[in-house]
Structure 1
């Protein structure tokens, strides 16, 4: 029997899509689906969703639900992590406090002020989870979806290198699906190569039967002024390679856009976009609880194309797949730091995960990735070395923050964020350092 633990199963929208994709594989042998969440109502919902999904697909499996993490992990083969530490309230803090200093954000979950503090409040949970995995199910694969992806993978590599972990994100997949639709190419028939860091990887090659599909994209961009009003199209035109995350995300990882009113207008950037998304997720969960209780819940019909079910299927059945995964850079990308968390192709089969070396990135792409990874490295060091000054250093290096504020304001903002998130931070990182 294959035991799959849904950690943070109360993230209901994610859980229902993962269940749908997983149960579509009718050649997976006996399954045990374990739902874990510390919120009792959400946990009950996750358990109901599992039973409803099994009935919908005509499948049988053992379903367990528990609020005890170690109990949930007992016998696990795979642990899917979608935990959001602090929930919607912490997300509001990630936006509201920086905004009071003049820092504008769109998503705030990967880099920037929001990304740094989401990482800092997630690391203690990851530490506890990794310790439990090491003791309870040391052979299990940890499949992480929780952001900030690169920081989380970097932290786990620094603190628990023995845990088998893959960081999974759908950004490359959906970028290519959307690009193929835009240029009129069947996604299933293309060849591509992508690498970089999570949310700032690059489409290095993109072909259909030997045709360079970038040529089609260039013509569309040249002929369509509205298409040019997107951040990642603007970045593509200037850098020569298309970035793999949405314009909203991408704008936060560079110093060029969010501090400038004219650029926000030109590129139609939705400030505070994730605040609405986060609130909608809360409302969606409330709706699903009611629908599951009354029997009105409807299984999603569309394939979400998430990687976790594919990884599980390949490792269990031996079917070989190549996906994009976030792993540690051990000779995979030549011009990014050794040991850094990077995103690269990864072959999955019955023997596990096998990252694929891609050589050197284009110099301009690697330069941006190294800035990204500097913020990641300093945030991880703040936590692993218990040095609160590195929080300030991370924000000083962060592209959007440093383009918006002077160093005095950056330190004051860091103090304000520490104060606002204090209950969620390790004691050693709660210091307000003030002006140096």
Structure 2
């Protein structure tokens, strides 16, 4: 709701960034926020458990505010509750375990012969990223219920769908939406591919995070899929992409990169020929981790030397949502929310990615109806694995970790069931105290 319609509330907008030590992402979000003149007079409260990263984030935020002429107050807090107190919006960008845990997510499965490219959404990497994030999310929800119960929680932390489902089940928070840029950038790329300005295309996508589908792709009432078909037919290199291969067989274009898309199905990563044909970079995310660290160090060094920072917006959804809620400006974003009848042929308790209207009333998801059956079939498998991971945590049931891994398509394609259970034991040992105590049992043969 617009702040002007609620005179009993405090006048100054407060936004809390949890995990603000993800400095590069924090910078991009702040650049987007400060680009809205209505959001210039804002209180930004930063929290991180790493003092050095927190100090760097605060210095970068202050620089961006000055650069963009925003009258923002930036505060830094080692105490999470102090950052959250009286917040109107909470942006979660935490990564539990940072690069060390991510390397574990790749290196341990690799010893079992399991290939991963990104490892943050589904599969063994996604399962254990979720399980080490859930204890933090439970604490965050409890804190918000006490010190900012009316705040919107805008979650960027992966695995998106698992985390949003867990937040709803374990914390009781209802004003939660998961945000991801995959739909937006997919449509940007498709518009360029068919040589139509992005601003002129009409589209609708729906499904699950990182495995949603472009259901409508038009320009001035003309279906653009036939144009895309002609391009694919004439370009062998286009056909050497997983997402294009999936589109040709399923009839609708997936909204994530080939690297992501390859991990959620059983058809590609287990086969040497497909890895080569479709140019799949196994372990690609480890390079992204290294790049993120390098970018952070460059930012830290630039601030220490008094050198200018590159201030670039990211066109992310969180600043757009905040602007719409505060000013009442209507816009559509893509959000990850509990299904509850939005997509008829997916489970009601699962988290789906759909277009959402945002205005002074908040985030309002759009009902889609039924997905084409072949798309729903893949999404249901994804949501089944998610549900088992969430149930493992809610019920303190370590067997459900193994059940989730058995259900995961890429893991099941690569390993016999005994090795899946042994891999889960190895991951439990490796992550140790990052997992809740009841999930640390070893159950392999």
TM-score > 0.5 by shorter chain: yes
Pairing partner for 2:293 from 282, 294, 298: 282
1:365 partner SS: helix
1:158-178 deviations in Å (ceiling 9; x for gaps)? 112334101000000000000
Aligned-partner Cα distance in 1 for 2:149–2:338: 19
Paired position in structure 1 for 2:57: 46
CA contact (8 A) 2:34 2:40 kept: no
Query: Stretches of 4+ moved more than 3 A in 1?
Result: none
Paired position in structure 2 for 1:128: 139
Q: Which aligned pairs between 1:305-324 and structure 2 lie closer than 5 A?
A: 305-324=315-334
Moved more, 60-69 or 153-162: 153-162
For the aligned residue pairs, the C-alpha RMSD in angstroms reads 0.8
- Residue 62 of structure 1, CA deviation: 1.4
Q: Which aligned pairs between 1:98-137 and structure 2 lie closer than 5 A?
A: 98-137=109-148
- Residue 286 of structure 1, CA deviation: 1.6
Aligned-partner Cα distance in 1 for 2:134–2:226: 43
Paired position in structure 2 for 1:373: 383
Aligned-partner Cα distance in 1 for 2:304–2:130: 35
CA contact (8 A) 2:40 2:71 kept: no
Pairing partner for 1:328 from 335, 338, 345: 338
Aligned-partner Cα distance in 2 for 1:248–1:70: 37
Q: Which aligned pairs between 1:383-402 and structure 2 lie closer than 5 A?
A: 383-402=393-412
Pairing partner for 1:7 from 11, 18, 40: 18
Q: Which aligned pairs between 1:67-106 and structure 2 lie closer than 5 A?
A: 67-106=78-117
Pairing partner for 2:304 from 293, 310, 322: 293
Paired position in structure 2 for 1:172: 183
2:213 partner SS: strand
Aligned-partner Cα distance in 2 for 1:337–1:163: 18
Aligned-partner Cα distance in 2 for 1:299–1:62: 20
1:405 aligns with 2:415: yes
Q: Which aligned pairs between 1:223-262 and structure 2 lie closer than 5 A?
A: 223-262=234-273
- Residue 28 of structure 1, CA deviation: 2.5
Aligned-partner Cα distance in 2 for 1:260–1:266: 10
Paired position in structure 2 for 1:66: 77
1:60-117 deviations in Å (ceiling 9; x for gaps)? 1111101100000011000000000000000000000000000000000000000000
Aligned-partner Cα distance in 2 for 1:431–1:282: 33
Aligned-partner Cα distance in 1 for 2:113–2:39: 51
CA contact (8 A) 1:134 1:163 kept: no
Q: TM-score, normalised by structure 1?
A: 0.99
Size of the aligned set, in residue pairs, is: 434
Aligned-partner Cα distance in 2 for 1:19–1:29: 10
1:228 partner SS: helix
Paired position in structure 2 for 1:337: 347
- Residue 29 of structure 1, CA deviation: 5.8
1:34 aligns with 2:41: no
2:348 partner SS: coil
Aligned-partner Cα distance in 2 for 1:133–1:163: 11
1:279-306 deviations in Å (ceiling 9; x for gaps)? 11112112211111111142323x3110
CA contact (8 A) 2:88 2:152 kept: yes
CA contact (8 A) 1:143 1:166 kept: yes
Structure 1: 5+ residue stretches without partners: none
Q: TM-score, normalised by structure 2?
A: 0.97
1:367 partner SS: helix
1:27 partner SS: helix
Aligned-partner Cα distance in 1 for 2:159–2:308: 31
2:354 partner SS: strand
Q: Which aligned pairs between 1:190-229 and structure 2 lie closer than 5 A?
A: 190-229=201-240
Moved more, 29-38 or 144-153: 29-38
Paired position in structure 2 for 1:357: 367
1:338 partner SS: coil
2:81 partner SS: helix
Aligned-partner Cα distance in 1 for 2:342–2:194: 30
Aligned-partner Cα distance in 2 for 1:129–1:375: 24
Structure 2: 5+ residue stretches without partners: 1-11
1:18-58 deviations in Å (ceiling 9; x for gaps)? 01111000123620011110100100011111110011111
